[in-house]
Structure 1
Amino acid sequence: MKKKEISVIFPGFIMILTLTGSVVGGGNVGSRKPSCNRANFDADIYEKCVLPFNRSMAAVDYQLKCPWPTTRQYYVKLYLCMENLANITSCSFVHSTHEVLLKIHQVYYLLCTHMMDPDWHLLVLYILPCIILTFIIPVFFHKFKLYENTLPKYD
């Protein structure tokens, strides 16, 4: 039986691939994401996300009426900014930003209710045709005797 010789090139090749992979990959082999620094994260959220949102909301008269339809784009930008910061810093998005969003809702969206009833004249316009039809249909059937079901006689 022939004895197989082990080549020195093969283990050396694996070693070189391993080292170059860690160098090219930025040396992240075996390292973890940085831990979340809550104080820095809160400061970054306020500086990078909340302040631009406050500047964009400064021109809106949120004290007089609900600004929601017109300020939706600002709110979405704020939300995405906070989500991106949470992903970058590996902080928990839900727990860290809940307080910020709650404060923003209390300041800017206080006059916005979950559901608003329409004005009374709109309600009347919606309900009145139904009421009128309820009274007209029986009169219409009685006048034209549509309630009698007579079939033609064929002899």
Structure 2
Amino acid sequence: MKKKETFVISAGFIMILTLTGSVVGGGKQPCNRADIYEKCVLTFNQSMAAVDYQLKCPWPTTRQYYIKLLLCMEYMANITSCPPAPSTHEVLLKIHQVYYLLCSHMMDPDWHLLVLFIAPCIILTFIIPVFFHKFKLYENTFPKYD
């Protein structure tokens, strides 16, 4: 009789834990990577369709689309039981290979920016010797203590 009571108690305890786990877990959906693709990546692809990413790096203008994609993927990872790291990294790697392929190449700045940064250095190189010569700062005139 004691074994039967133990079995009923443990079965009831397992049922309570199972129900509590589904309620506390917030009813998480099973991991389905297709949901992440459909809800997040397709929206990102539609946003990027209007951008000419084949001709130049689209990064500064598409930053808001990229941030929305990251937030969407994080949200989907939270409501599903998908681990965020592997699925996120796989999807982002594919997106970078398609849309941000041209962004990896470094480009020289425009000539007016180069002049803006280089000109002060060149001008100071010529002004400092003139300044020292005019005010005779090259002579060591220390006060004499007698």
TM > 0.5: yes
User: Counterparts in 2 of 1:106-145, with a 5 A limit?
Assistant: 106-113=97-104, 116-145=107-136
1:82 is matched with: 73
Structure 2 residues not aligned, in runs of 5+: 1-15
Alignment RMSD: 2.8
2:48 is matched with: 57
Range moving further from structure 2, 132-141 or 78-87:
132-141
- How far the C-alpha of 1:134 sits from its partner, in A, is 1.6
- The letter of the residue matching 2:102 is L
The separation in 1 between residues aligned to 2:50 and 2:78, in whole angstroms, is 30
**1:42 counterpart = 2:33:** yes
- How far the C-alpha of 1:126 sits from its partner, in A, is 1.1
Change (3 A) 1:36 1:145: same
Q: What is the TM-score when the length of structure 2 is the normalising length? A: 0.71
- How far the C-alpha of 1:125 sits from its partner, in A, is 3.1
Q: Could you give the per-residue CA deviations for residues 57-96 of structure 1, whole angstroms, max 9, x where no partner exists?
A: 1000001111111111111111111111111112100111
- How far the C-alpha of 1:135 sits from its partner, in A, is 2.2
SS in 2 for 1:111: helix
Structure number with bigger Rg: 1
Q: Could you give the per-residue CA deviations for residues 114-140 of structure 1, whole angstroms, max 9, x where no partner exists?
A: 765424553243122212212221122
- The letter of the residue matching 1:50 is V
1:94 is matched with: 85
Which residue, 6, 9, 29 being the options, matches 2:20?
A: 29
Structure 1 residues not aligned, in runs of 5+: 1-21
The separation in 2 between residues aligned to 1:88 and 1:35, in whole angstroms, is 7
Structure ranking higher in helix proportion: 2
Query: Contact between 1:35 and 1:91, CA under 8 Å: does it hold in 2?
Result: no
The percent identity for this pair of structures is 79
The count of residues paired between Structure 1 and Structure 2 equals: 125
1:13 is matched with: none
The separation in 2 between residues aligned to 1:116 and 1:42, in whole angstroms, is 37
Query: Contact between 2:59 and 2:100, CA under 8 Å: does it hold in 1?
Result: yes
The separation in 2 between residues aligned to 1:30 and 1:61, in whole angstroms, is 48
User: Counterparts in 2 of 1:8-27, with a 5 A limit?
Assistant: none
The separation in 2 between residues aligned to 1:149 and 1:126, in whole angstroms, is 34
